[in-house]
Every structure is written in C-alpha cells, then in structure tokens.
Structure 1
Amino acid sequence: MSDRIPEACDLLIEAGFVVPVVPHGVVLEHHAVAVTGGRIVAVLPVPEARSRFAPRETVSRPDAALIPGLVNAHTHNPMTLLRGVADDLPLKVWLQQHIWPIEAAVIGPDFVADGITLAIAEMLRGGTTCVNENYFFPDVQAATYKRHGFRARVGLPVIDFPTAWAASDDEYFDKADEVHDQWRDDALIATAFAPHAPYTVNDANFERVRMLADQLDIPVHLHLHETAQEVEQSLEKHGQRPIARLDRLGLVNERLIAIHMTQLTEAEIHLCAERGVSVVHCPESNLKLASGFCPACALERAGVNLAIGTDGCASNNDLDMFSETRTAALLAKAVAQDAAALDAFSALRAATLGGAKAIGFDDRVGSIEPGKEADLVCVDLSALETQPLHHVVSQLIYATGRQQVSDVWIAGRARLRQRMLVDIDIEGVLSNARQWRERIAGIRLS
C-alpha cells in the first residue's frame, strides 16, 4: 500500500466507459476522469482514481459512456426562432422568398440573443458543448454564449448587401475588427471571418477577408459548393467553379472551413486534402433542401479533416448532433456504396475532434486527454433502446438519442446535471419563444 497523500482535484467523473477519441478506436472500461481548474488532469481506472485523488465532487455514472463534448461545426443559432416557418421548399425559394424577408422584419439584438439562448438550452440537453456560429450581430452572439458559459467561435459576417448589422463593405470590416478585438483573449469565445458564400461576396471583399484573416490569425467560415446551381452560376459569371475562384483569391488553405461541399470533383477533394481545408458535413439540411450529397467518405479517405454541423433550425429543424452524426454515417455508406464507409469511431471523431480541429480548438477540446479543457458529456446507455450493449461506440452512433444525455460540463463547470439545466430559466426561454412565434406569424410576405 502506498502512503502517498491523495491529490486534491475539483471533480472526479467515474463512468462505465470512457471514449477518449484519442487514441482512435479505444474504449476504456470502468475509468475515471479527474478535473482541476477546468482542465483534465488524468484519465485512469476507477480504483486508481479513488486512491490517487481526493475530489471536491465525485460524479459516478456506472451505466454511462463519457465522451468529449460534441462540436456543432456549423450553425445559425438565432434562426432557432424560425424553426419550421418555411419547410419543404428548395434552397433558393426557401432563402430568398421566405427566410430573408422574415429576417429583414425581425432581425436585431433581441432576436439574436433570444434565439441563441433557446439554442444553448437545446444543445446542452443534447450533449453539444461548442459551436461554430454564423450569423449577424456577432457582438450579441458572443456576449450571449459567454453569459451561459458556452464555447463558441463566432462568425464576423461579410456579405455584398446592406443588412441590419452593417450598411457598407467598410462597416462590415470595421465592425468585424471591433468584435474580434473585444474577444481576442477570451477563454471560451473566439472569432472567424464568415463571408456568406461565393455568390454573395465579390472578389475584392474575399481578398480583404484573406488578408485580414492572415493578419488576425483566424479561420474563414464559408458556405461552399452547396448546390449544383451555385456551381453553374459561378461558371457563367466567373468562368470558374467556386473553389477554383477561391483558390485564385488565395483562400483555399488551412484556415478555410468549407460548409456543405456537396458538389466536388476528385481533383477538388485532393486539393482540399493538400491545402489542409476542413469540410463540415451538414447531411440533414442538405437532404431536406435537396442540395446534394457531400462525399464524406471520399473526403475522409483522401485525408481531409471532416466535421459535422446541423446548420440552422430553419433548415434542419433541430440541433441534435446525435441524429446528425447518425445521418452522416448512414449517408456516407450510401453515397460511397460501401458499408464500411465512415464507421462508428470515425463518425464520433468527426462530431468531436474533427469539429474542434476545423474551428481551431483542437488544442483545447475534442478529445479526453490530460491538459485539455474538460468539455465532457455523460450518455446513459442503460435504457432498453441501447441494450444489450455489445459495442459502446456503435450504440452511441446508431442507437442513442439525445434524451440519453445525463450530464454536461464545459471547462469543468456543470451545465446539465441529471437532465436538469444549470442556471437556465427554462420557463423564461419558452415564454420568449412563444412571443417570437406570435410576432413572426404576423409578418406578411410579398
């Protein structure tokens, strides 16, 4: 027996299974994770953890899998308030005749703050601890995420027409600089440039984005090759496919977070691999809008970093990363015509470390390793829907529902405890949602 005095730690989480993501393909049975100062200090068998540590708090979940917090790598979370307003329409009609006119009538700081608060509550209950956000009023977004202790990379919008956020090109960039400067050293919040898409941003603004992203050392978050129509229009207008145009402008590099990517040639896939581009696969939104199929398996096998995103609730219609990741895995098999494509471990990696890497947070989160921040999720696998438990990660990807998330921590701070949200007024959130429903219902579309 050792006479060593136990080490103090803030939190010890004991789980039936720990899925660290790194190393790949590993499941650790009857392990514990020790947390101090918001960071993971050890991952070790439960008996050793009990001997080594004297925790201030112990959470024991013998029927649960402990996984890294899920990273939703592409969201428009204020649009949670537009859930279901214009369903079953093609992308162009949906966007131009419904979403944009409604947004023009309601968009503002209150809409953004209330939509994000609703989204945070939904995401926490589904095991998501980090988002890559893309919307207007990034100052309000950042403040709202920070207030709720939620990790986010917030997009700094750039688009070729006036909006409620900015009236001119210079104002978009001036405000981007202000928001970035305000949050540059924050522990939870970071920024990225978010030029909307190749069909809504001109060459001069793309060149400006590239220059400033290099100077500020931040990513570029961009919808790209979302539909066949986008590619056809680019060929007509620019004589190039969108990704070739971006390459000409110097944007196809390791900073690029390319969203959707449903229309890709083999050469474009290899270009992304060579340049270090990350691709965010949003399968349910692409399916619902009939936008096409991202070749997720081909991208992964070529060496492209693959992440998962839900897109916004106006086109999905939820923020359920368990459902999204299952759909991604299943769709990858159908598209590749290969049942081995995007296996369960690879799908979980895409939903965690792949997303963290895409948004430049992989040194902080995305896997359960000592030194990383304790963004952690307990998933109860004791329910009959996930029994018998032959293969933990297969159950997580192919059978688990988000309602099985029991506990969530961000930087070691409890945000969901035995299915109860911590420090979020659910009744207030629901009341705000109902008020926005009434206001949006009264909007007349021309």
Structure 2
Amino acid sequence: MVPVEPHAVVLEDHAVAVKAGVIVDILPIADARARYAAAETVSRPESALIPGLVNAHTHNPMTLLRGIADDLPLMEWLQGHIWPVEAAVIGPQFVEDGITLAIAEMLRGGTTCANENYFFPDVQAAVYKRHGFRARVGLPVIDFPTAWAKTSDEYFDRAGEVHDLWRDDALVATAFAPHAPYTVSDANFERVRMLADQLDLPVHLHTHETAQEIADSIKQHGQRPLARLDRLGLVTDRLIAVHMTQLTDAEIALCAERGVSVVHCPESNLKLASGFCPACKLHHAGVNLAIGTDGCASNNDLDMFGETRTAAILAKAVADDASALDAFTSLRAATLGGAKALGFDAKVGSIEIGKQADLVCVDLGQIETQPVHHVVSQLIYATGRHQVGDVWIAGRAKLRERRLVDMDTAALIANARQWRERIAAIKR
C-alpha cells in the first residue's frame, strides 16, 4: 500500500477497511482479519494499492476528436481544425457521449477524479453523477458566442444556474473556467473573480501556455498574462493555472506566495511544441503541483500513468538533474497534488482514515514490472495502465479485475465509431 500521506511511505502486507464509502481503518492484514467481519474481502497479493489518480486538467468530450488533427502547432491546430469541427458537432449529445467514453478510459487507467473544462457543464455534471465518477466541472467563460452561450451575461447566468444545481453534491462540484487570457476580457475576468470569491469556487484557467501568448499579451496589455491576472485579483489560492510553460523565477515565487496550484500537462505541451513547464523549480519553490492529460484531441489519451512518467522524466531533463521530481513526488502530484488543486484534498488524494475510498489496485506481478525492487519506482517508471485491476470510487467498485462495472464496452465502441463516421463526413 502506498498511502501518499505520509510522504514516501510504503506499507507492506496492509489492508484498508471501508464502510459506507469511507476509509475507517488502515492496518496489517492479519489484524484486519482478526478485527473485522467483512461483508466483502478483496485480496490482491501481487498488487499495490494507491489512491485514485486525479486528472487535474482535461476536456473529456474531446475524446471523440482523438487524432483528427495531429502534428500541428497550437494555434493552427485550434483555429484551423478543432474549433471548426467542434462548431459542427458540439451539443449535449456530443458532450454526453464523449464524457461517457472518457470515463471508461479513465477508470481502466486508474483515474477516479477529473477536473473538466468544456461546454455544456450541465450535461457534463449529469453524466459524471450517473456513472458515480468524481469531478469538478468547469463553468465556461469566453469572449465569443458558442453553442453554450451567446453573450457574456448568458455565460454568467448559465454558470450560476449550473452551480446552484450541483452546489451540495457529494461527487460533482463546479469551478469557473475562463478559457485563457487571450480569449477573456478584463471585465469578464473581474466578474469571474468577484463571483469566485462570493461562491468560494476555484478558477480553472489555461495560462502561460506558449511564448506567443506571452508576446501577444505584452503587445495588447503591456503585461505578461500572470501580471495581468494579478492586477485583476486572480492570482490567489483559488487559481488552478494550467500549462505554465513560460515562467520567470519571479513568477514562480509569486505563485508560491499566493498558493496557486499549477497543472503540468507534459505530453500535450510536448506534442504541440508549447514549451516546458519548470516542474522541479515549482516544486522546490513550494508550489502545489498537479498532473493533467489535457484533452484527447491534443494528447491523445487519458493515461495518467503515462502522463506522470513523462512528467517525472521530462523534469529531469529540464532541470538538468537526474534526481528532480522523484518517484514519490511524482505520484503525489498525480494524486494528492491534483486533489489539493481541485479543493478535494480533505476527501481524496491519499489513503487516510476518514477520507473517501477512492482506491486503485495495480497488478505489479506481471512481466513488465518484475522484479519489484521498489514499489513506487515501478509504479512511476515501469507500470502501464493495462496493469490497473480494480478501481473503487467512494467505496463502490467501478472496475473489477479489468472489467468495467455497469458500463457496456461493446456499446461504447460502437457509439464512438458512429461519431467517427459523422466527423469524417464533416471534414470531407
């Protein structure tokens, strides 16, 4: 068992006792058998038990756009391909089907929680709830009309409606999700800040993603994006800053001082040649670091094991230090770091008494992870998502011995294929 908290601890031959979805005890297996008369016992002697992985930044409806526009720079990819296709297909059914497919993929990869950033948050929230998946759903704000809203007032009015519907839910919560500094005005950022303060909500934002974004901000606003956000009162412990590939030492210090969480999406940034997040510098400065896959249109998967391995290895190259972002720190970023960024760390992110039983069992007995000299080293540097055997969210089984519980795999694949045909017809 790797509880994540306390840090750098591995517990051999231990068990977790769960009642009503909550962890009530952590103790040696022999003691657990003597103390508890369990309604159900799951024994996996070749496995490691870890907290559920937290995908701290994703656009899950875009699972249906996986691979439609690869090998292109960010703005050409976005403006020339993704946005035009989205405009033709976006709607409640696209969002529902994309998220359902994403939930299945995430569960099979050990992810139990996602920080969502897309349109139709009302549909998103309902789908996550239906499948018993933990999520923080973004309330989109952007300075141009979309299928979700046409005016600034409509974006904020609809955001309020969705938040009111989900404000007390045990699994699904909301956040403001202004798209990016280059697509949101000062006035709308100020409204986001005011409402986020009033409603006690995080602000989930792409920022400092590319060098071009920085240059454009200086030209248009006379400031780098983070300085502009600071002027508008948004650089606080509510800010979930995504990508952050272009940072000065002073900006890193500011993030540490203000309690900003940074979501590192290494594979998307590498694929789009956006730059390198200074993950090691951020960690050493005391910034809370989380891991995200980004969406399947730019990654092209939701594999948090692969993403965390890339984050750990890339950090060493960027820092020119082989000890940078070690295995324990990387796993923490993918679990408790993500939970903290989302404001869920009192509930999930580590295996602790009193927390929700969001748990993942990883089979280390396979060829790819033998011999096991160091459990956490194997989890970060050798394990593939195909080794995830069992997943629980709030104590409910969602994956059992590699089989999805209550999800029809054949139907999911058939539905994805009909979306492929529909999107291919649009592109023609």
Matched, 1:149 2:149: no
What secondary structure does 1:223 align onto?
strand
CA displacement, residues 344-388 of structure 1 (integer Å, 9 cap, x when unaligned): 000000000000000000000000000000000000000111011
CA displacement, residues 231-279 of structure 1 (integer Å, 9 cap, x when unaligned): 0000000000000000000000000000000000000000000000000
Matched, 1:121 2:95: no
In structure 2, the partner of 1:106 is 89
In structure 2, the partner of 1:373 is 356
* One-letter amino acid of the counterpart of residue 9, structure 2: V
In structure 2, the partner of 1:264 is 247
In structure 2, the partner of 1:330 is 313
Give the distance between the partners of 2:288 and 2:21, measured in 1 at CA: 27
* One-letter amino acid of the counterpart of residue 58, structure 1: T
In structure 2, the partner of 1:11 is none
Shift of 1:425: 1.0
CA displacement, residues 105-134 of structure 1 (integer Å, 9 cap, x when unaligned): 000000000000000000000000000000
Matched, 1:443 2:391: no
In structure 2, the partner of 1:33 is 16
Matches within 5 A, 1:359-398: 359-398=342-381
In structure 2, the partner of 1:64 is 47
In structure 1, the partner of 2:392 is 409
Matches within 5 A, 1:12-411: 18-411=1-394
Shift of 1:428: 1.2
* One-letter amino acid of the counterpart of residue 300, structure 1: H
Give the distance between the partners of 2:367 and 2:66, measured in 1 at CA: 31
* One-letter amino acid of the counterpart of residue 287, structure 1: L
* One-letter amino acid of the counterpart of residue 169, structure 2: D
- Unaligned runs of at least 5 residues, structure 2: none
Give the distance between the partners of 1:70 and 1:53, measured in 2 at CA: 28
Give the distance between the partners of 1:162 and 1:92, measured in 2 at CA: 19
Give the distance between the partners of 1:237 and 1:442, measured in 2 at CA: 39
Residues 444, 61 of structure 1: CA spacing in aligned structure 2 closer, same or farther, 3 A cutoff? Answer: closer
Shift of 1:444: 3.7
What secondary structure does 2:214 align onto?
helix
Shift of 1:156: 0.1
CA displacement, residues 133-168 of structure 1 (integer Å, 9 cap, x when unaligned): 000000000000000000000000000000000000
Give the distance between the partners of 1:225 and 1:90, measured in 2 at CA: 15
What secondary structure does 1:57 align onto?
coil
- Unaligned runs of at least 5 residues, structure 1: 1-17
Give the distance between the partners of 1:204 and 1:52, measured in 2 at CA: 59
* One-letter amino acid of the counterpart of residue 179, structure 1: V
Give the distance between the partners of 2:363 and 2:47, measured in 1 at CA: 4
CA displacement, residues 77-120 of structure 1 (integer Å, 9 cap, x when unaligned): 00000000000000000000000000000000000000000000
Task: Indicate the structure with greater strand content.
Answer: 1
Give the alignment's TM-score, normalised by structure 1: 0.96
| Root mean square deviation, CA, Å | 0.5
Give the distance between the partners of 2:27 and 2:276, measured in 1 at CA: 41
| % same residue | 81
Give the distance between the partners of 1:384 and 1:108, measured in 2 at CA: 44
* One-letter amino acid of the counterpart of residue 59, structure 2: H
What secondary structure does 2:343 align onto?
coil
Give the distance between the partners of 1:53 and 1:347, measured in 2 at CA: 34
Give the distance between the partners of 1:54 and 1:156, measured in 2 at CA: 45
